[in-house]
Amino acid sequence: MTFRRQLIASAALAAATFALPLAAQAQTVLKAADVHPAGYPTVVATENLGKKLEAATKGKFKMQMYPGSVLGDEKTMIEQTQIGAINILRTSLGPVGAVVPDVNVFNMPFVFRNEAHMRAVIDGPIGQEILDKVTNGPTRMVALAWMDGGSRHLYTKKPVKTPADLKGVKVRMMGNPLFVDTMNAMGGNGISMGYGEVFSALQTGVIDGAENNPPSLFTSNHYTTGTKYYAQTNHLIIPEMLVMSKVTWDKLSKDEQALVKKFGREAQFEQRALWDKSVADYTAKLKAAGVQFTEVDQKLFFDATAPVRAKYGAPYADLMKRIADVK
């Protein structure tokens, strides 16, 4: 009888152990990160991806969003993504371009005629080719989708309509020699500076202006520093990228990978709709706050930056021609 009881007990234990994953599967929490604040279009679109993945996998995966640089600056978060400490990341192209050079072509001034042209490029074969190069390169990240970073324009303390108006004007640029050279070619004095330093630099007169899209101009409060002139130059139209850690990706089944790719592509278009609404909303807020939007002759700035495209675009001449040919 003792042996029989032991046998029944062992069988019951085995059955319970086997049934446990069915009754209460362990949930995998995916950490997603972004430098942008909560509510920003890229953050919302990424959160929606997580909700879809949780529903489709019946709760196997749940996403936890960390917006507003709470996990570090972009360079730090990319390093965390490469080792799997962050699972999903929205990143700008600068750090990625250091590893996959073709990405740098999108950083070129006036490589896109307008936002519609940029979207046609990233939605088509060229966009997919570059995503694939990131995935298959040494980045240790899987490129899921593109996200819209909008058009960058100049905001300054005096009106700017032509390159001549920028003479002697100190303008903050992102920390990349290409961007500094772009501003210098446009007629200004490009100053490389961290984004967090811009507000005080504008207040104290260390710089006379900066450049960014309308949502960023408003949410950063830079418009309160006297930079009430917003020249719509469209000099940079740089898409951003949504990536997954290769460490995380390799742990997914083929079906799960397919779901992530599908929802990533959907996030690309969801973010775009959110972005367009955001630009319209923040443009209205800026105008209500007294910011003066100025149309400029973009050809003047396009012609002025030709040497920059010649210098930095030489390795990507064929790719730039393909981009130019996209209707």
pLDDT tens across 8-44, in order?
A: 444 444 344 333 343 345 899 999 999 888 999 999 9
pLDDT of residue 25: 58
pLDDT of residue 11: 41
As a whole number, the mean pLDDT across the chain is: 91
CA distance 46 to 272: 12
Q: Is the pLDDT of residue 1 over 70?
A: no
Average pLDDT of span 164-183: 94
Q: Apex CA 232: angle with CA 230 and CA 294, to 5°?
A: 60
pLDDT tens across 269-284, in order?
A: 999 999 999 999 999 9
Q: Which residues of 81-110 are buried (b: 16+ CB within 10 A; e: fewer)?
A: bbebebbbbbbbbbbbbebbebbbbbbbbb
Q: For residue 324, how far is the Cα from the chain centroid?
A: 22
Who has greater pLDDT, 177 or 206? Answer: 206
pLDDT interval class at 99 (50, 70, 90):
confident
pLDDT interval class at 176 (50, 70, 90):
confident
Q: Apex CA 310: angle with CA 129 and CA 116, to 5°?
A: 50
Task: Specify the range with the lowest mean pLDDT, choosing from 18-22, 98-102, 138-142, 171-175.
Answer: 18-22
Which residues have CB under 8 Å from 7's CB, separation 6+?
none
